[in-house]
């Protein structure tokens, strides 16, 4: 695999990277060492299945024990048929305001096919079940267990330009986002749009934080209010922006079109009350019962991770602030080492459990399953990320004395290990600066470590793997005799594809999680260290670029899924922004006005009423601001929604003109004076005739016959008026 320098810094692309030979997808077909016949039969079935749905295939050797099957759509006709069906389906499900034109060429002209749409349709064509017109290929399972992977090839020309543009600019503009959307799909584009918006918005808390830090120090009410205001505005802004983007990209409402989850187990079939189609049903009460297991699960998470964090924190406090014996400088690292080793271990176990739980909940659709899983992961991430800070802010600072038994325990333990006269202890003093130090660790140290593990480590890993593969290939080729040689003009291209096969799959959820957890640090605890936002601002500039590089170079090209929002993360941000108001108010009222280096006794005079009152007021400040911002936001009509309304209006008008032309024409003539006069006369005569014919209902008719037409009414009325006047 080419490195960033080789690939993108030179003027033109390396050989083999310039063209994809119109390949839509590459199937990585693993050949087992045993059972060759079965693999051959499966291979033939695979090719047949692909050809049967309208795809063309070519096969080339992969690495030593795999094949590369190249797939493209057979003809423009098959493609346009797929496009038509897909857009029609969207319209029927309410995800498009305007149905596709009868004339396909007109449809394609008004809304050309993007790379992403083409790739998505081809992917669906390969993976949809047979009864829905697809080839039913499910990589890695059942009849397709030899299919190790199914991925599109990178458009390196676009990738190179994108990274060149991004690395020379401060922001990602709408053009770049459209490019990302057209290449990687809306799902990835939404991540970049969100991170860019978040990055731009970070300027405000960074400025507020910097000035607060300069002028007011930490724990200032000014910064707490500014941060609360900011998080509300950002949240509401993004909700609006999200809708705008979805309309602009034509994907608003696609989340309603759900892909069924193949693993879903149903109890019985019923008729859909809306469409009349048969649907599979699983009792929601049964699911609720399973969902209730989340409560013991959450309790278990809190207990496990809480114990770990309390233990390590109290040990750390003991070593740093009480212990005064030998090896203090080395022992100080012990709790951190325990935490760094144990936290991922425990979370991995708990995460496995969360996955299992989500599977048991047996969701019908992939989205519901994904959302439920993300929710559980968020709870876990929340605990691992913020629990130490919560512990410091709301247990250590106000109730530090509660920790004394723990400290005594450690003291006793230390004395058991080493005789008591070997070390001295000092008096335990609560140090409010502790939370600021922790925040510094989480915002600076942890982000740098994260960048290294996320970007540099995979790069090194890949390098090593490449080397290993080469060595292995040399060994195997030398042992197995000459392999089928590549055609010279394809050799570069195939070499590149072989290296892309080795890359990991890109998962946008991980990137979202990182941003949301970062937002949480900012919202929940940045009052303790107001420079947080400044650090995040710098971090995110790098983050956005390194994520782009990650997708473009360090991962296989993702399947370009559609999305109409950032999904379950929106709720997470709303929750963190609300909780942040409470914690900020709590931290400020607990810590402000106190000299951080002052004596321990200063902590005991914390006024519980003041803390409670400030949290209570802060929450209502948050709610009021939210209401006000929402009100203002509804007043500013979103460009996207306006466009949608206009489309809908024009569509209806057009339909009206087309279908109801005659009917409207006939009725459009406004009942003008002459005409309606005629109507009234005619009607009256008509009724008079009818009245004379039938006997019943006569009194009703009689009432209206007394004054025949307008002239009578006018005359009689005038005479009545004149009588009053003359009296």
CB of 514 to its own copies, least distance (A): 27
Q: Find the binding residues for its own copies in span 625-654 (CB under 8 A).
A: 635, 637, 642, 645-646, 648-649, 652-653
> Is there binding between residue 480 and its own copies (CB under 8 A)?
yes
CB-based burial label for 386 (10 Å; 0-12, 13-18, 19+): buried
CB of 402 to its own copies, least distance (A): 18
Look-up of token digits 């203090």: 328
Please work out the total of residues on this chain that contact its own copies, with binding judged by CB under 8 A: 113
Q: Which strands make up the sheet holding 147-152, listed edge to edge?
A: 55-61, 66-73, 25-30, 147-152
Of the residues 654, 659, 690, 692, which one makes contact with its own copies according to CB under 8 A: 659
Stretch binding its own copies (CB under 8 A), from 111-119, 430-438, 555-563, 608-616: 608-616
Binding mask 112-151 for its own copies (x = CB under 8 A): ---------------------x------------------
Q: Find the binding residues for its own copies in span 276-335 (CB under 8 A).
A: 284
339, two tokens: 């935490």
Q: Is 168 or 662 the residue whose CB approaches its own copies more closely? A: 662
Q: Is 396 or 493 the residue whose CB approaches its own copies more closely? A: 493
Find the helix or strand (DSSP H, E) in which 362 lies: none
Of the residues 110, 671, 690, 692, which one makes contact with its own copies according to CB under 8 A: 671
449, two tokens: 């470590």
Contact between residue 146 and residue 30 where contact means Cβ atoms under 8 Å apart:
yes
> Is there binding between residue 420 and its own copies (CB under 8 A)?
no
Q: How many C-beta neighbours within 10 Å does residue 528 have? A: 26
Candidates 581, 575, 577, 522; CA nearest to 206 is 522
Q: Please tell me what DSSP assigns to residue 255.
A: G
Helix (H, G, I), strand (E, B) or coil at 279: strand
Q: Please tell me what DSSP assigns to residue 365.
A: B
| Cα separation, 14 vs 180, whole angstroms | 22
Q: Is 268 or 706 the residue whose CB approaches its own copies more closely? A: 706
Q: Find the binding residues for its own copies in span 214-233 (CB under 8 A).
A: none
Of the residues 10, 15, 21, 412, which one makes contact with its own copies according to CB under 8 A: 21
Q: Strands, E, within 474-541: which ranges?
A: none
> Is there binding between residue 476 and its own copies (CB under 8 A)?
yes
Q: Find the binding residues for its own copies in span 246-285 (CB under 8 A).
A: 273-275, 284
Q: Is 487 or 600 the residue whose CB approaches its own copies more closely? A: 487
Stretch binding its own copies (CB under 8 A), from 186-194, 370-378, 483-491, 544-552: 483-491
Contacts of 151 (CB under 8 A, 6+ apart): 25, 26, 28, 500, 505, 556, 557, 559
CB of 495 to its own copies, least distance (A): 15
CB of 360 to its own copies, least distance (A): 19
> Is there binding between residue 608 and its own copies (CB under 8 A)?
yes
| Cα separation, 578 vs 169, whole angstroms | 33
Q: Is 447 or 581 the residue whose CB approaches its own copies more closely? A: 581
Candidates 19, 63, 29, 13; CA nearest to 151 is 29
Q: Find the binding residues for its own copies in span 39-78 (CB under 8 A).
A: 39-40, 43-44, 47-48, 51-59, 61, 64-65, 67, 69-70, 72, 74-75, 77-78
Of the residues 489, 597, 605, 665, which one makes contact with its own copies according to CB under 8 A: 489
> Is there binding between residue 717 and its own copies (CB under 8 A)?
yes
Q: Please tell me what DSSP assigns to residue 658.
A: H
Q: Is 120 or 550 the residue whose CB approaches its own copies more closely? A: 120
Helix (H, G, I), strand (E, B) or coil at 16: coil
DSSP codes joined into one string, 559-621: P----SS-TTHHHHHHHHHHHHHHHHHHHHHHHTTS-TTS-GGGGGG--HHHHHHHHHHHHHH
Cα angle 229, 233, 238 (rounded to 5 degrees) comes to 150
| Cα separation, 180 vs 175, whole angstroms | 9
For helices 639-659 and 221-248, give the axis angle rounded to 10 degrees: 30
Q: Is 171 or 275 the residue whose CB approaches its own copies more closely? A: 275
Q: Is 174 or 682 the residue whose CB approaches its own copies more closely? A: 682
> Is there binding between residue 12 and its own copies (CB under 8 A)?
no
Stretch binding its own copies (CB under 8 A), from 204-212, 347-355, 485-493, 498-506: 485-493
338, two tokens: 């325990």
Look-up of token digits 């199914």: 150
Of the residues 263, 624, 679, 692, which one makes contact with its own copies according to CB under 8 A: 679
Contact between residue 190 and residue 245 where contact means Cβ atoms under 8 Å apart:
yes
Q: Find the binding residues for its own copies in span 493-532 (CB under 8 A).
A: 493
Of the residues 215, 295, 417, 609, which one makes contact with its own copies according to CB under 8 A: 609
| Cα separation, 224 vs 217, whole angstroms | 12
Q: Find the binding residues for its own copies in span 693-712 (CB under 8 A).
A: 699-700, 702-704, 706-707, 710
CB of 136 to its own copies, least distance (A): 13
373, two tokens: 């899983």
Q: Is 65 or 470 the residue whose CB approaches its own copies more closely? A: 65
DSSP codes joined into one string, 659-671: HSHHHHHHHHS--
Q: Is 102 or 329 the residue whose CB approaches its own copies more closely? A: 102
Stretch binding its own copies (CB under 8 A), from 2-10, 17-25, 233-241, 505-513: 17-25
CB of 313 to its own copies, least distance (A): 26
CA distances from 153 to 21, 490, 552 (A): 10, 15, 10
Which residues face 67 on adjacent strands?
29, 61
Q: Is 170 or 631 the residue whose CB approaches its own copies more closely? A: 631
> Is there binding between residue 110 and its own copies (CB under 8 A)?
no
> Is there binding between residue 341 and its own copies (CB under 8 A)?
no
């Amino acid at each position: 695999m080419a490195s960033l320098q080789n690939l993108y810094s030179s003027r033109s692309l390396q050989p083999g990277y310039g063209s994809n030979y119109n390949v839509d997808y590459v199937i990585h077909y693993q050949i087992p060492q045993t059972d060759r016949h079965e693999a051959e039969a499966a291979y033939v079935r695979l090719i047949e299945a692909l050809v049967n749905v309208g795809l063309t295939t070519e096969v080339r050797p992969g690495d030593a024990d795999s094949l590369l099957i190249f797939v493209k759509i057979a003809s423009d006709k098959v493609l346009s048929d797929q496009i038509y069906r897909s857009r029609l389906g969207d319209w029927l499900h309410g995800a498009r305001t305007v149905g596709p034109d009868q004339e396909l060429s007109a449809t394609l002209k008004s809304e050309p096919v993007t790379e992403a749409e083409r790739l998505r349709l081809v992917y669906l064509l390969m993976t949809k079940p047979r009864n829905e017109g697809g080839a039913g290929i499910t990589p890695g399972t059942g009849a397709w267990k030899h299919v190790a992977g199914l991925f599109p090839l990178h458009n390196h020309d676009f990738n190179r330009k994108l990274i060149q543009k991004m690395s020379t600019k401060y922001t990602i503009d709408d053009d770049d986002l459209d490019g990302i959307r057209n290449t990687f799909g809306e799902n990835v584009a939404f991540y970049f749009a969100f991170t860019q918006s978040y990055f731009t918005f970070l300027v405000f808390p960074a400025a507020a934080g910097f000035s607060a830090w300069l002028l007011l120090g930490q724990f200032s009410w000014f910064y707490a209010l500014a941060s609360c205001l900011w998080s509300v505005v950002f949240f509401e802004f993004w909700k609006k922006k999200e809708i705008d983007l979805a309309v602009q990209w034509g994907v608003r409402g696609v989340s309603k079109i759900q892909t069924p989850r193949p693993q879903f187990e149903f109890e019985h079939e019923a008729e859909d009350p809306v469409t009349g189609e048969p649907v599979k049903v699983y009792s929601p009460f049964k699911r609720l019962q399973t969902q209730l297991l989340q409560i013991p699960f959450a309790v278990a998470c809190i207990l496990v991770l809480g114990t770990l964090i309390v233990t390590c924190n109290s040990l750390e406090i003991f070593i740093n602030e009480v212990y005064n014996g030998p090896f203090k400088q080395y022992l100080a690292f012990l709790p951190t080492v325990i935490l760094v080793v144990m936290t991922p271990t425990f979370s991995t176990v708990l995460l496995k459990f969360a996955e299992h739980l989500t599977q048991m909940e047996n969701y019908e659709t992939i989205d519901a399953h994904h959302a439920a899983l993300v929710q559980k992961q968020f709870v876990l991430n929340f605990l691992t990320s913020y629990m130490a800070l919560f512990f410091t802010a709301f247990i250590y600072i106000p109730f530090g004395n509660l920790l004394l038994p723990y400290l005594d325990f450690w003291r006793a333990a230390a004395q058991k290990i080493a005789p008591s006269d070997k070390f001295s202890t000092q008096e335990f003093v609560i140090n409010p600066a502790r939370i600021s130090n922790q925040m510094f660790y989480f915002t600076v140290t942890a982000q740098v470590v994260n960048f290294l593990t996320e970007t540099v480590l995979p790069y090194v890993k890949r390098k090593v793997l490449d080397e290993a593969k080469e060595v292995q290939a040399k060994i195997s080729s030398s042992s197995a005799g000459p392999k089928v040689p590549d055609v010279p003009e394809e050799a570069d291209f195939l070499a590149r594809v072989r290296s892309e096969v080795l890359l990991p799959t890109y998962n946008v959820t991980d990137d979202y999680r990182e941003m949301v957890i970062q937002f949480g640090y900012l919202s929940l605890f940045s009052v303790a260290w107001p420079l947080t936002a400044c650090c995040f601002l710098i971090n995110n500039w790098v983050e956005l670029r390194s994520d782009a590089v990650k997708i473009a170079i360090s991962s296989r090209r993702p399947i370009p899924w559609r999305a109409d929002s950032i999904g379950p993360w929106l709720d997470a941000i709303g929750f963190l922004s609300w909780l942040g108001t409470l914690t900020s108010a709590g931290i400020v009222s607990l810590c402000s006005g106190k000299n951080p280096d002052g004596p321990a006794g200063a902590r005991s005079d914390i006024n519980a009423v003041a803390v409670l009152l400030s949290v209570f007021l802060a929450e209502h400040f948050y709610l009021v601001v939210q209401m006000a911002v929402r009100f203002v936001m509804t007043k500013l009509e979103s460009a996207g929604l306006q466009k949608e309304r206009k489309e809908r209006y024009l569509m209806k008008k057009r339909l009206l003109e087309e279908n109801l032309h005659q009917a409207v024409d006939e009725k459009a003539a406004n009942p003008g004076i002459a005409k309606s006069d005629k109507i009234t006369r005619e009607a009256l005569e008509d009724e008079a005739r009818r009245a004379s014919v039938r006997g019943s209902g006569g009194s009703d008719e009689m009432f209206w016959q007394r004054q025949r037409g307008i002239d009578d009414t006018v005359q009689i009325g005038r005479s009545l008026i004149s009588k009053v006047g003359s009296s």
